[in-house]
Each structure stands twice: as C-alpha cells, then as structure tokens.
Amino acid sequence: MNGRSCIRSLAIAWAAVLLWLPASSPADDAALLRELRAGAVVLMRHAQTVPGVGDPPGWKLERCETQRNLAPVGIEHAKRIGQWFKAQQLRVSAVRSSPWCRTRDTAMLAFDRHDDWPALSNIFEDRSGADAQAAAVKRYIDGVKPGELVVLVSHGSTIGHIVPGAGGLASGESVVVRRAAQAGAAPIVLGRLTIP
C-alpha cells in the first residue's frame, strides 16, 4: 500500500467513526448542563484501564495489584472529569463506586471521595446477581431528592443492565438520568456526558 492509499484508508476510517458517533449540539450540551444543575444521577463508567478484557485469572477484589487498573491516560482523564465538574460549579452530593479498584480510583481522582457499593459491582463475568443489583440502583435513583447531584461510578456492563440502551459507554463516559416515572421502571435518560 502506498502513502496515498494509506492516507485515504485512514480518512475513510475516521469518517466512518465520526458518522457512527452521536452528534451533540451546543444546545444539547447546555440542556444537559441545566439538568445536572437541577439535580440528576450520573452513571459513569470508570476511566480507561490498561489493555485487557475483564480481570486477570486469580484476581482478588481486596488486592488492587491483581486487577485490571487505570492506565496513565485513564488517571489523567479522571482528573479532567473532576476539573470539569468544578469549572461548571456542579456540587456533587454523593459519590458511590463499585468496590473494584478502577472504579474507586476514578471516583477518588475526580471527586476526592467514594463510598463502595456492591450494587455497582462488575457483572461482566458473573451476571447471577445482576437483576438484584439493578433493582437496588433503581431504588436508590428513585430516592434521590430534587436538587441533588449524585455520581455512581461503575462498569459498562453494569450500567447497561441498569439502564437498557445505555450500553457502549466509552471509558470515562456517563449517562445522566433521573428517577423513573413509576417505581421499578428504568430511569429516565437525560443524555450522555462525555468529558474529553
């Protein structure tokens, strides 16, 4: 393949990616920011990890060194997420995270705090408790008071199970929701929050 063919192939690939990505307009961004200021729940996927899928064989929840953890780029991204929230003057009422180290670290780097919550645990390898976890998170979201802004840091598979249609979140990306119209139903999706 010559240089021109390579450049053309790259341009076509980038065009395909850009067409696939959902576009957001400044009006959409402003509307989502208003929702965040009025109170909402941010379901955030942890920032980027070192390469891999799932956790290494023999991993242990209580030992971070055995898990797949944040990559340097993920550490920097988590910090930028926190800086963005501060720059927008968004006051976060509570931060809960899955007990996995990559979610705890994302929460700590972005918001300087976290509370472990097993309902946010990773269901990628074991879905046996997925429905009970999702139900607990939905009850929690239903109980968030108007005006409160809560961040829940979890895993892509777990968030996708809690909010059908919210799958495919990129590392560090969030889906912003509010309480369901009826108890037990899926939360109402207000939009996706992507902080570069």
Instruction: Assign residue 37 the CATH number of its domain.
Output: 3.40.50.1240
Structural domain containing residue 121? 24-193
Question: Would residue 101 count as lying in a domain?
Answer: yes
5 domain-assigned: no
pLDDT value for 121: 93
- Among candidate residues 32, 126, 17, the one with its CA nearest the CA of residue 84: 32
pLDDT of 134-158, one tens digit each?
Answer: 999 999 999 999 899 999 999 999 9
SS3 at position 46:
coil
3-state helix, strand, coil in the chain (%, to 5): 45, 15, 40
pLDDT > 60? residue 66: yes
Mean pLDDT over 93-101 rounds to 96
14 assigned to some structural domain: no
Number of domains in the chain: 1
- Distance from C-alpha of 52 to C-alpha of 29, rounded to nearest angstrom: 32
User: What string of DSSP letters covers 28-45?
Assistant: HHHHHHHHHHH-EEEEEE
Res 2 pLDDT > 70: no
Whether the predicted pLDDT of 7 surpasses 80: no
Mean pLDDT of the chain: 85
Q: What are the residues whose beta carbons fall under 8 Å from the beta carbon of 125, sequence distance 6 or more?
A: 54, 55
Is 189 among the domain residues? yes
